[in-house]
Chain A
Amino acid sequence: MEAYLDNSATTKINDDVLALMERVYREDFGNPSSRHKKGMEAERYIKTAKEQIAATLKCKPEEIFFTSGGTESNNMALIGTALANKRSGMHIITTSFEHPSVYEPMFFLEELGFRVTYLAPGPEGTVTVDALKEALCEDTILVSVMAVNNEVGAVQDITALGAAVKEYNPAILFHVDAIQAYGKFRIYPKRQNIDLLSVSAHKLHGPKGCGFLYVREKTKIKPILHGGGQQKGMRSGTENVPGVAGLGLSAELANKDIESVQEHLFELKKYFAEGLAKLPDVTVHLVDNKDGTPVGAEEWEKRLRKTAPHIMSVGFAGVRSEVLLHALEEKGIYVSSGSACSSNHPAVSGTLKAIDVKKELLDATVRFSFCKDTTKEELEYTLSVLKELLPQLRRFWRK
Chain B
Amino acid sequence: MYQAFLVKYGEIGLKGNNRHIFENALKNRIMDSLRPLGEYIVVREQGRIFVECPKGYDYEDTIEALGRVFGVTGFCPVKVVETTDWETVKQATGDFVEEMYPQKNFTFKVAAKRADKHYPITSPEVCAKVGEYLLSRFSELSVDVHAPQEVITVEIRNRAYIYSKVLAGPGGMPVGTAGKAMLLLSGGIDSPVAGYMISKRGVAIEATYFHAPPYTSDRAKEKVVDLARIVSRYTGPIRLNIVNFTDIQLAIYEKCPHEELTIIMRRYMMRIAEHFANKSDCLGMITGESIGQVASQTMHSLLTTNAVCELPVYRPLIGMDKVEIIDIAQKIGTFETSILPYEDCCTIFVAKHPVTKPILSVIEKSEELLADVIDDLMREAIETTEVIEVKA
Contacts and interface: CB of A to CB of B under 8 A. Distances in A.
Interface of A: 322-330, 344, 346, 395-396
A395 B254 CA distance: 9
B330 to A, nearest CB: 23
A322 B348 CA distance: 11
Main secondary structure of the interface of B (DSSP, over half): loop
Nearest to B343: A322
B341 A346 contact: yes
Contact of A344 (B218, B250, B341, B348): B341
Interface string B211-231: 001111110000000000000
Q: Which one of A324, A326, A344, A396 has the greatest number of beta carbons of chain B within 10 Å?
A: A326
16 contacts: A322-B217, A322-B343, A323-B348, A326-B213, A326-B214, A326-B215, A327-B213, A327-B214, A329-B214, A330-B213, A330-B214, A395-B250, A395-B254, A396-B250, A396-B253, A396-B254
B363 to A, nearest CB: 21
A147 B253 CA distance: 45
A144 B214 CA distance: 39
Closest 5 CB pairs of A and B: A326-B214, A327-B214, A326-B217, A323-B214, A323-B215
A346 B341 CA distance: 9
Contacts of A346: 341
A346 B339 CA distance: 14
Question: Which of the four size classes fits the interface of chain B?
Answer: 10 to 19
A326 B246 CA distance: 13
Main secondary structure of the interface of A (DSSP, over half): helix
Contacts of B254: 395-396
Nearest to A327: B214
Given A324-B214, A325-B214, A327-B213, 15 more contacts: A322-B217, A323-B215, A323-B348, A326-B213, A326-B215, A326-B218, A329-B214, A329-B218, A330-B213, A330-B214, A344-B341, A395-B250, A395-B254, A396-B253, A396-B254
Contacts of B341: 344, 346
Contacts of A396: 250, 253-254
A322 B216 CA distance: 9
B123 to A, nearest CB: 65
B11 to A, nearest CB: 47
Contacts of B348: 323
Q: Which one of B215, B250, B341 has the greatest number of beta carbons of chain A within 10 Å?
A: B215
Nearest to B349: A396
A8 to B, nearest CB: 20
A323 B215 CA distance: 5
Nearest to B220: A326
Contacts of A323: 214-215, 348
Interface string B292-328: 0000000000000000000000000000000000000
B195 to A, nearest CB: 27
Nearest to A398: B258
A329 B213 CA distance: 10
B248 to A, nearest CB: 14
Contacts of B343: 322
